[in-house]
Amino acid sequence: MLEIAQPDDLLPLVSELREVIVAAVQAPPPQQVTELVYTARLYQRLVQLRQARELYCRATGRDRFFFDPETPEARSDAFAMLGQAVTSVRAGHPLAALRSAIAASAMDPEDQHSQILIDQMLPSINGPAFRPPAASDRSRFQPPAAPYVANGRSFIAVAEAGEIIQDHALLRGWSAAFSASDDVTLAIVAPQSELDAAIKGLQQALVASGLGVDTEFDLAIVPRPAEGLTELARDAHARLTDRGQDPDPRLSGLPQFGSSAADVEALRELATRRWSYTGLGRALQIAIKIPAPNWGEAPVWGDTFFALQFARELKRRGHHARLDVISEWDPGSNPDAADDVVIQLRGPYPYVPQPDSFNVLWNISRTSRISPREAGTFDLIGAPSARCAEELQALASTPVIILPQATDPANCWPEFDPAYAHDLTFVANTRGFHRRVIRQIMADLLPTTHDVAVWGAGWNGLIPDHYVRGESIANDQLRRAYSSASIVLNDHMPDQHRYGIVNNRIYDVLACGGCVLSDYLPELEDAFSDIVATYQTPDDLRVTVDRLLADPAERAERGQRGRELVLRTHTFSQRADLLLSAVATLL
């Protein structure tokens, strides 16, 4: 372990060790030293470098990101070194891969991709064998292979048995839109306790609508489970109804079609688009690379659930989608077949694209960490805001589309739970590493006499303990927390402020019908008009909190308008259509 008297003495040592490592990797091993020994010495240098950085951060209270590459050129150099490591892995040269990964880690110490490559290659110098974490969570975070409706065809519409029985025009509209030989299924939902009566009523409706009880149309009776229709909502493509909202809010994200001639034509057009695989002509194998290091840590990464919800939309369109954690990003670490399309959810760590795939970088955070060299290796870039798109387009000639974050209506809907009923709810971790930093919205709010509930890591000791309800909250409980709070607080990371990125919490809270109060971001008004309440000063925050808490009608009105807006324009279904259309144009 390094022992340095003064923290300032560590900075020259950090620079020296980094330069020595990078120079050594770029030069061939000396003739009198074997490649194995040379690589082992480089690894020891990296250990010393990490120790020096750690000591400096602890002694000075600096954040761990203090040693990040400072310029686009430095980030490009680090990405190039990471690319050399991945290329060596593909070529079957583990020692060369290890040396390049060591240099990449020295240049960009927060890059988990290079660190995992180091762990995987260490056995080549007789280090401890790499043991990937158990994959027990892997299947949990993959779209289900089997459809919810057994033997359902490629396009599925959902209807309520009660409405079909009463409104025979819906069945006539269905038969006008499709022929019995078309690849479509009408899933008719009925309460479990009323199945016999529903079947009898449907037989009468089939006769009255002219189809007959022996119709060759594929009709499936689906019992409504007590837990709701979440999986059917994720598999289906449309709702057949002449009414308003479905009794199950999970289905509210599906496009609705009635019996009018215009709806019949639009329903047929939607099915035709599904049959064309959203214009791609065939089912694609699509990998989504997520920034969780391994499956053991995946459940605590919000990006994991984001990716899973998007993967379900790809599956709904007939494609084969899977999620890969960092330890599965590179050749030899993943048993799956070659991918037609690879989508990287670009968070903190870079991915080196596969040369034989169409590669998409979907930037959802940490835009400042993307280098020109990295941007130039992709075939398409999705930017979460117009400001971000302008920045990314300036980095490289790669086509850029605006692809904001989104929500999943089958995961986020209004569900009040008195256990989560609080005046103010905030779900977020603290910031910082060696020195924890309170998030600005809490610094601006506290102290307060209102009932505040905070879920997230690192809050103990920063705010009064009675505000902290837990270090995390399960993803399937978030809707209850968001739906039940009088106000859900939100703030944005510095990178999000810089590039105008609306974070995912906004979309999810609004999908739950919640009232959001956020720090100010111009893009909030652009996307949501006046639906999201914002503040700019601590006094402004406190006044707005008091006003909203005193006016439940205003909170409900904001929540209702917000839910209607996100269901109409900000779901993963709309993002999947946009991305696949762009891929179809370029592939």
Helix 94-107 to helix 35-60 angle (10° resolution) is 20
Q: Return d(Cα 188, Cα 219) in angstroms, integer.
A: 7
Q: State how many domains the chain has.
A: 4
Question: Which of residues 379, 406, 433 is at a domain's end?
Answer: 406
571: DSSP letter: B
- Token pair for 520: 């100010």
**pLDDT(393) > 70:** yes
Same domain flag for 263 and 288:
no
Question: Average pLDDT, stretch 508-524?
Answer: 97
Q: Return d(Cα 269, Cα 21) in angstroms, integer.
A: 59
- Token pair for 206: 């089939």
**Which band of pLDDT confidence, cut at 50, 70 and 90, is reported for residue 52?**
confident
Specify whether the CB–CB gap between 414 and 512 falls below 8 A: yes
- β-partners of residue 343 are 288, 360
- The secondary structure element, H or E, covering residue 496 is helix 494-499
Instruction: Tell me whether residue 578 is in a domain.
Output: no
Average pLDDT, the chain: 91
**Which band of pLDDT confidence, cut at 50, 70 and 90, is reported for residue 144?**
confident
**pLDDT(110) > 50:** yes
Same domain flag for 374 and 464:
no
Instruction: Tell me whether residue 137 is in a domain.
Output: no
Same domain flag for 290 and 390:
yes
Instruction: Tell me whether residue 447 is in a domain.
Output: yes
263: which residues sit within 8 A by CB, 6+ positions away? 173, 257
Same domain flag for 328 and 425:
no
- Token pair for 90: 């593909």
Question: Which of residues 406, 430, 461 is at a domain's end?
Answer: 406
398-407 pLDDT tens trace: 999 999 999 9
- Domain of residue 104 covers 7-125
Same domain flag for 63 and 120:
yes
For 162-177, give one letter per residue: b (16+ CB within 10 A) or e: bbbbebbebbbbbbbb
**Which band of pLDDT confidence, cut at 50, 70 and 90, is reported for residue 137?**
low
- β-partners of residue 220 are 187
Q: Return d(Cα 211, Cα 228) in angstroms, integer.
A: 30
63-72 pLDDT tens trace: 767 788 888 8
Q: How many CB atoms lie within 10 A of CB 7?
A: 15
Q: What pLDDT sits at residue 128?
A: 55
- % of the chain beyond a pLDDT of 90: 71
Q: What pLDDT sits at residue 173?
A: 95
- % of the chain beyond a pLDDT of 70: 94
Same domain flag for 60 and 200:
no
Same domain flag for 217 and 313:
no
Question: Average pLDDT, stretch 271-289?
Answer: 96
Q: Return d(Cα 454, Cα 472) in angstroms, integer.
A: 9
Strand order in the sheet with 516-519: 468-470, 452-455, 424-427, 487-490, 516-519, 533-535
Q: What pLDDT sits at residue 569?
A: 96
Question: Average pLDDT, stretch 473-482?
Answer: 94
Range from 238-247, 323-332, 567-576 carrying the lowest mean pLDDT: 238-247
Strand order in the sheet with 341-346: 320-324, 285-289, 341-346, 358-363, 380-383, 400-402
**pLDDT(241) > 50:** yes
Q: Return d(Cα 295, Cα 348) in angstroms, integer.
A: 17
- CA nearest to 224, candidates 263, 205, 251: 251
Same domain flag for 458 and 558:
yes
**Which band of pLDDT confidence, cut at 50, 70 and 90, is reported for residue 434?**
very low
Q: Return d(Cα 516, Cα 424) in angstroms, integer.
A: 10
561: which residues sit within 8 A by CB, 6+ positions away? 531
Q: What pLDDT sits at residue 69?
A: 86
Same domain flag for 295 and 438:
no
Range from 32-41, 103-112, 252-261, 365-374 carrying the lowest mean pLDDT: 32-41
Question: Which of residues 233, 251, 275 is at a domain's end?
Answer: 275
Same domain flag for 82 and 159:
no
**pLDDT(227) > 80:** no
Same domain flag for 257 and 344:
no
Specify whether the CB–CB gap between 236 and 219 falls below 8 A: no
Instruction: Tell me whether residue 579 is in a domain.
Output: no
Specify whether the CB–CB gap between 281 and 316 falls below 8 A: no
- Domain of 232, CATH number, reads 3.40.50
Q: Return d(Cα 585, Cα 587) in angstroms, integer.
A: 6
> Of the segments 216-225, 329-338, 448-457, which one has the largest average pLDDT value?
448-457
Instruction: Tell me whether residue 346 is in a domain.
Output: yes
Same domain flag for 463 and 482:
yes
Specify whether the CB–CB gap between 371 and 101 falls below 8 A: no
290-333 pLDDT tens trace: 999 999 889 989 999 999 999 999 999 999 999 999 999 987 66
- β-partners of residue 400 are 381
Q: What pLDDT sits at residue 514?
A: 98
Query: Would you report the helix, strand and coil content of the chain in percent, each value rounded to 5?
Result: 50, 15, 35
Q: Return d(Cα 169, Cα 309) in angstroms, integer.
A: 34
117-131 pLDDT tens trace: 999 988 877 655 555
- Token pair for 580: 């696949």
Strand order in the sheet with 219-224: 219-224, 184-191, 155-160, 238-240, 256-257
- Token pair for 172: 């006539």
- CA nearest to 503, candidates 428, 425, 422, 436: 428
**pLDDT(235) > 90:** yes
Instruction: Tell me whether residue 145 is in a domain.
Output: no
Question: Average pLDDT, stretch 210-219?
Answer: 91
The amino acid present at 195, given as its one-letter code, is L
Place of tokens 């924890």: 436
